[in-house]
Structure 1
């Protein structure tokens, strides 16, 4: 009966839509797909409003003047169909209208494509995939004509939706499948606001990057502030000017969504501080390598421009895999688009009975979180690290180690009431990602416990969960005890001091990193080899992508001139040249070839890592791999290792950031040429601003980076970077992971990672649950430890389930309208409130000394107690002269 009811519902839809050639009876024996008489046409490119005008047009075609839109919706009950294919009602109606223009052959081809291309896509709606498989393979289904027709009609609407819209509900929720090429984008107003914001954001982020606690402004702050500034500039005169043949005006009309997004994209790239600033701090400061020549502005700007621009060349080439395909969702972008839509779309629709506009909902959520965040952020800080279980017995080492939130593992059912503490964004991140990530954290927890309680690698003498490096007395490793006056490694000093030791959690993190790198490559080969090969074929055919006509957004972007590969290639060559000059001309004691080594590493990984990031919202950094290879390639040379690490890590990271921004512009249907030049300008401007501020910090701030600096400019990032540079560059990974090294067995993780995806891939069709296993994300869950814990991961799971499973399935219209607006409002409120708290109270040294702020930091959780006391000789492991 349920199948018959659904079939009659779909019958009503197509009768209402006036589809000709549908005279067959639904309850008659199935005689094949409906004999469509219309020719196949391309998707409509009109710019009309999506639902009211289209529905009215549909009703007019049926001469149903007595019907209202509301009566039509009641008659067809589109919500039933919407639930079946996970789409909102307006998208169903639009797809149903387009289905009239599609031939039976076209529909059949798309059904086959669903099974062939989306079988291993974790984001694709499973009910649709199951229906397509059932339609093509279930012989029993053909013996049930009504049920068969119902399945076919659902797939017919889905097929139409894949032609005129995105196959993903997440994208349809915020991305418009229509475009107006006349909408202004790269206006004087957008460039002016973007330039001011980039300069201000780069200044703030660089200046406070060396302060503890630090402060910074994010893109969401720029996106919020750009709106009132843009509206204010609507008051400027509309007089047109001609400069070098270009006509421009101070006020081209209403502040457009595309102008707003161009400013946001400029902030995305411009708010990032140069990674090479860490190298320069380590070189320049007397407490580190004491190389005064590193103050040279020419040297600083060359390496900053090089690392900042290097990623563009790879991002441009990777568009075939990371931007054009519909599968490349980039979930993090959807929140920015949702906020843009909330600001610029004043017309409100009804979503599961809710009529409140997106902008008003954003205001309510923003205001509520801004007020609330004062409690975990300042007044009642125990709400952030709610390690209540350790309060029972603060000095109990095991209790703190297992349940604690600071140096413990965070096994706590109620660990935080602070949204800012969550490791993943539960509303943006797909739930399959959230749960796989949680499984990775859960599976590695008992491994850490076993290492600690068995005292493997002497971990029992150290805190269970710390990212610090220790010596054989349990104290922080003193890198000055292993280097001579020339900052080079001294074997004699090393043998009289101590090997370097890792906590149990930190050792597991390194093992997870090693396994993750090879698992990522193997996973990409097994699951995405066809997409990767399609991308390479498209290079030879000079097409955007081999299946370019499958995505409506690619078709809409055909209206704009694309940025050619050679343009990106020139940027890459420029970045390589200036980097080689900066490293080679100045006395870095480093070969300029280090620039190319890093680029080669990025070329090898950018597509696999990008596919995973664009699908799961999980970014995988190459920092540990770059440190390991750099340390082996340049033994004893910390600066060379630092540059290899910088180019190997930041090139890939920047390339993926820029590719994500290109997808953001792709979703907003912005001219690629304008996006490209806006990114380039913002990056160059930010590099100069940050480098100038870096020089100011080095020369004008007294006692900078000293522990007792009066304004707390103690450079915690530079301290960590210096320690890593000595351990990995001077001391070298060979002494830790090579033959005879303490952690040599962790190298087996490379092999484990390479082999592990194979059985999951081979068994995924036989064991149903394995279809939901995403191994790189599971391994990424093992990277949480040292310094974080499960306390930051577990709370994401129930929130992610509530929003991205329960609400999404039952109240899809509400979810589509409010989900991304909600998370953007909460994040933006936290960012702005944190800035206010910093300047209003933290900067003035105001503290509330009461139990709600002091209780979490009392006891072993905060102190990081070790399980075992030092032996009588005062050290553990081999003593001085007993190791090499």
Structure 2
């Protein structure tokens, strides 16, 4: 084998950098990369990257670019890159322990080089202890790994869907991309809002809209003329050429950024409809300002998140990969590659998986529903209560084969093809903890839970019926003590009790654990943020701390300055103050300030957990509890502050995930900012327009809709019940008399965070300093212990009522198959097809569900929906599991629980 330096042509000086000049043409870049790399080196790097070879074009540009970077890097530079990388990523759960061990050994060097002493060596590599020159295999490997870290990504998941460098001349923020994004955003937001009150719900997810936007862009490519003008040195044309990947992604940002302002479109009908609060003062002006301030106030905090959850390579955002993969499948140039015997292109594979799931979903969802709810163990003895409680799909779901429905498999922890394996395991472990906790609570009849269903959501009265909140309110929607004493206290099921306990725990656990576990990352980001807020400078501050190719590539474009976000935050805060001051909301301004501060405290932990692991949680329960104490007897104030409390972190984290996709696809940051703000404003008006029509539908949100349009509004019912439970009855009564032990969950979470940090990181670090001879064992233990994430485990417990093991077990099987068999044995196939398969399945389910709704469910008459009456559809609902009944019968006195007067 040649020496490594012989692969570089004599006299060649590298001139291509990660930031190519703006006038560099795409074909010139391709030609330069093809001529700059020796074929032998190209083959070596291609094999290391598990890259497929096009029969006509050879390796793609990413392989050639990384080979070029390997050729120009020195061993010393490579080791310094790997040392700095390991310092940040030693606790990274998205990297395997084997990979981190490998990086550690490479960073230590080789015998004879001096400096740091080498660690244990692989006996298969014949090192010469007397050599001063780097062994050939070592030199190649250390440069290769360092080049991936600095010039691409250490994550194979990211490399599978991204390019290693940017083409700054590719069209992005064009007139046609604005038009396509606007049209499909309006359609998606309108359809999603229209069906938001339906049960079961139906929606147009962003991947469906992303798929539909592609032919729209291609159509404009063919029909629009090349008419345009020059503005400040840039030509703006109706048709700048072929529909590009950046244009497709920019249009997708419009679609995913707009969404549906689901909190305010729940708050407004609860205020207006007569079966709820019937507050006629909530005019369209009030609705508009409330919705806009809710949508935008969180986005104003996203600028701060760039340093924590966007720029760092460690913030991988695993749930964003299918969006990028679908974009590449639609627009990536087709290559004639043979991968593990497969020659089908990524686009055709997407179409095949889409068609398969579109057809298959008819079976578990309509034709053979037992495939979806496969509670086969209860069929052995359908009326056996204990068997139904333990194995039934409506209860605990301890069933090795609970479903064959992809929609159910992905309904718990998320898509197992996308979610990291460690996250799946942590969440699944938490679900098992919750399962045994619920069994203990239920069978011990804690707080009368045995008189109710085991794992159903909602609140109930002392006869086991759904809690009728209207019986404890006056005509103005205020709580009346005498009516409460004449009716009943509210009760939770065992599933809800455990789920809410986990909700209380995760808030303090999330803060304490993240502040300790990610303290270095947070401190570095805070210093970087402080340097970034520089109002007096004309040029925007450009982050240079995070040394990865995606951040450096943004130097080709103007950055979105900090003052944009601060101005947006101030304007939206002003709108929020105007909302609560101008209309009779009974909401003090300090409530807005308090909720904003509360979200600010939790924003970084919530977003970092989501960015690192793909898991997240909501602020709604914590806001309900605190506002229920501070503003007792004001349910409407609770609803308004809850809307802000949920949307601030949700919008900020959502915009951060979109921004990360923009970083991965080299979309300029200013374009991302504009797409998110414009789409949020337009989606708000779209949803409000549809909402005006919905509010005038006859019988909306009444039981009469159950057999017609099915607009029974279960989400609004739950929203209204929560406002009464915490806002009217009050958190104090709830936490003091009804469920007093739940308040200790906050203390439990605060204690568990430092405990797990000490076991996983703090303790091993201290021991390694005290006993250096055990340092290596401490590092190994810390790596293995950090695979467990207590926050994700707690999120698994939250999933109950109505979630259970049925929604997670299937995901574990698929995740294990993909992680340990497909990815290890067929890595090239995995890299090319996995995320495309995920997107295809998701699109197939969505479109199939929509067609089933319009073809079979949506009717203007009063007849029941057509069904196929046979055993395969009837079996899941027969027996005790289908009834989801209680364990104990109501006592002879006609109610359970304490007699009046209630505490």
In the alignment, is the contact (CA less than 8 A) between 1:195 and 1:682 conserved in 2? yes
Does the Cα contact within 8 Å between 1:38 and 1:100 map onto a contact in 2?
no
Matching residue of 1:146: 126
Aligned twin of 2:472: 482
Query: Gapped runs of 5+ residues in structure 1?
Result: 1-10, 22-36, 61-66
Q: 1:524 to 1:140 in 2, by over 3 A?
A: closer
Contact 1:38 1:103 in 2 (8 A): no
Distance 1:352 1:248, change over 3 A: same
1:40-80 C-alpha deviation (Å, 9 max, x unpaired): 996474867999974664236xxxxxx7x9xx74xx59646
Distance (Å, rounded) in 1 between the aligned partners of 2:679 and 2:49? 46
Task: Measure the CA separation in 2 of the matches of 1:38 and 1:249.
Answer: 38
Measured at CA, do residues 13 and 623 of structure 1 come closer, stay the same or move farther in structure 2, by a change above 3 Å?
farther
* 1:206 maps to which of 185, 193, 209: 193
1:832 to 836, 839, 847: 847
Residue in 2 aligned with 1:31? none
Residue from 551, 564, 569 that aligns with 1:567: 564
Written as runs of structure 1 = structure 2, the 5 A alignment for 1:408-447 is: 408-422=395-409, 423=412, 424-447=414-437
Any conservation in 1 of the 2:33–2:61 contact (CA below 8 Å)?
no
Q: State the alpha-carbon separation in 1 of the partners of residues 300 and 327 from structure 2.
A: 28
In structure 2, distance between residues paired with 1:876 and 1:663: 53
Partner in structure 1 of residue 590 of structure 2? 593
Cα deviation, 1:359-402, whole Å, max 9, x if unaligned, reads: 01111111111111111121111111111111222221111111
Correspondence 1:401 to 2:389:
yes
Which of 166, 191, 208 is residue 221 of structure 1 equivalent to? 208
SS in 1 for 2:236: strand
SS of residue matched to 1:795: helix
Task: Find the counterpart in structure 2 of residue 24 from structure 1.
Answer: none
On the 8 A contact 2:9/2:38 being kept in 1, the answer is: no
TM-superposition CA deviations, 1:409-443 (whole Å, max 9, x none): 11111111110112210011010101111011012
Equivalence map 1:288-437=2 (5 Å): 288-294=276-282, 296-348=283-335, 349-406=337-394, 408-422=395-409, 423=412, 424-437=414-427
Pairing partner for 2:898 from 850, 870, 878: 878
8 A contact 1:81–1:154 mirrored in 2? no
Deviation track 1:447-506 (CA, whole Å, cap 9, x = no partner) reads 111111111122111111111212222222221222223321122222333222111111
Matched, 1:850 2:870: yes
- Is residue 75–residue 139 contact of structure 2 (8 Å, CA) maintained in 1? no
Q: CA deviation at 1:629?
A: 1.2
Counterpart of 1:117 in structure 2 is: 88
Quote the Cα distance in structure 1 between the aligned partners of 2:63 and 2:2.
Answer: 13
The range that moved more, 142-151 or 563-572, is 142-151
2:503 to 505, 513, 517: 513
Q: CA RMSD in A?
A: 2.7
Of residues 503, 516, 532, the one that matches 2:522 is 532
Deviating more after overlay: 658-667 vs 12-21: 12-21
* Cα distance in 1, alignment partners of residues 6 and 822 from structure 2: 30
SS for the counterpart of 1:550 is coil
Q: What residue number does 1:450 align with?
A: 440
Partner Cα distance (2:126, 2:291) in 1: 66
Post-superposition shift, 1:720? 1.3
Q: How many Å separate the matches in 1 of 2:154 and 2:231?
A: 44
Per the alignment, do residues 49 and 490 of structure 1 end up closer, same or farther by CA in structure 2, a change over 3 Å counting?
Answer: farther
> 1:772 — aligned with what?
787
- Check whether the contact 1:561–1:671 (CA below 8 A) recurs between aligned residues: yes
Tell me which moved more, 425-434 or 495-504. 495-504
Per the alignment, do residues 331 and 781 of structure 1 end up closer, same or farther by CA in structure 2, a change over 3 Å counting? same
Partner of 1:718: 716
Query: TM-score normalised to the size of structure 1?
Result: 0.90
SS of match in other structure, 2:228: strand
Contact 2:19 2:166 in 1 (8 A): no
Partner of 1:350, secondary structure, is coil
2:883 alignment partner in structure 1? 863
Structure 2 residue matching 1:643: 3-state secondary structure: helix
Contact map agreement 1:236 1:250 (CA 8 A) in 2: no
Residues 789-827 of structure 1 show CA distances to partners (whole Å, capped at 9, x for unaligned) of 110011111111111332222222111111100000000
**Quick one: structure 1 residues 82 and 822, their matched pair in 2 at CA, closer, same or farther if it must change by over 3 Å?**
closer
Which of 19, 25, 37 is the equivalent residue of 1:58?
37
- Tell me if the contact between 2:397 and 2:805 (Cα under 8 Å) persists in the aligned partners: yes
- Relative to structure 1, the CA distance from residue 510 to residue 20 in structure 2 (aligned partners, 3 Å threshold; closer, same or farther) is farther
Q: Contact 1:110/1:159 (CA < 8 Å) preserved in 2?
A: yes
Q: Which residue of 2 aligns with 1:706?
A: 702
Q: 2:142 aligns with which of 155, 170, 192?
A: 155
Q: What does residue 804 of structure 1 align with?
A: 819
1:651 deviation in Å? 0.8
Deviation at 1:725, TM superposition (A): 0.9
Measure the CA separation in 1 of the matches of 2:379 and 2:346.
42
Q: Is contact 1:51-1:94 (8 Å) kept?
A: no
- In the other structure, the counterpart of 1:108 is 79
Q: Could you say what secondary structure the match of 1:248 adopts?
A: strand
Residue in 1 aligned with 2:69? 98
| Distance in structure 2 (CA, Å) of the matches to 1:386 and 1:570 | 53
Aligned to 1:472: 462
Find the aligned partners of 1:486 and 1:325 in 2 and give their Cα distance: 51
For residues 720-760 of structure 1, give each alpha carbon's deviation from its aligned partner in whole angstroms, at most 9, with x where no partner exists. Answer: 1111111111112222223xx23211222212212223333
Distance 1:433 1:50, change over 3 A: farther
User: CA 1:77–1:668 in structure 2 vs 1: closer, same or farther (change >3 Å)?
Assistant: closer
User: Match for residue 746 of structure 2?
Assistant: 750
Q: CA deviation at 1:516?
A: 1.0
Deviation at 1:138, TM superposition (A): 7.3
1:94, CA displacement in angstroms? Answer: 4.7
Q: Could you tell me which runs of 5 or more consecutive residues in structure 2 were left unpaired when the two chains were aligned.
A: 52-58, 109-115, 129-134, 534-540, 765-777, 860-864
Distance 2:69 2:230 in 1: 45
Are 2:653 and 1:666 aligned? no
- Report the equivalent of 1:790: 805
Residues in 1 aligned to 2:169 and 2:64: alpha-carbon distance in whole angstroms: 27
Equivalent position to 2:177, from 190, 213, 223: 190
Task: Render the CA deviation track for 1:142-170: whole Å, top value 9, x for unaligned.
Answer: 69772585556433311121111111111
CA distance in 1 between counterparts of 2:68 and 2:175 reads: 40
Number of aligned pairs?
838
Aligned to 2:265: 277
Q: Distance in 2 between matches of 1:669 and 1:721?
A: 40
Deviation of the 1:97 alpha carbon: 3.6
Asked if structure 1 preserves the Cα contact closer than 8 Å seen for 2:79 and 2:142, the reply is no
Residues 16, 367 of structure 1: alpha-carbon distance in 2 compared, 3 angstrom cutoff: farther
In 2, Cα distance between equivalents of 1:143 and 1:159: 20
Displacement after TM superposition at 1:776 (Å) = 0.8
> What is the deviation of 1:616?
0.8
- Deviations for 1:604-656, whole angstroms, at most 9, x for unmatched residues? 11111111101111121111111111211211110111112111111101110
CA gap 1:468/1:41 in 2 versus in 1, 3 angstroms: same
Q: Quote the Cα distance in structure 1 between the aligned partners of 2:365 and 2:46.
A: 46
Q: Which moved more, 1:758-767 or 1:109-118?
A: 758-767
State the alpha-carbon separation in 2 of the partners of residues 668 and 90 from structure 1.
15
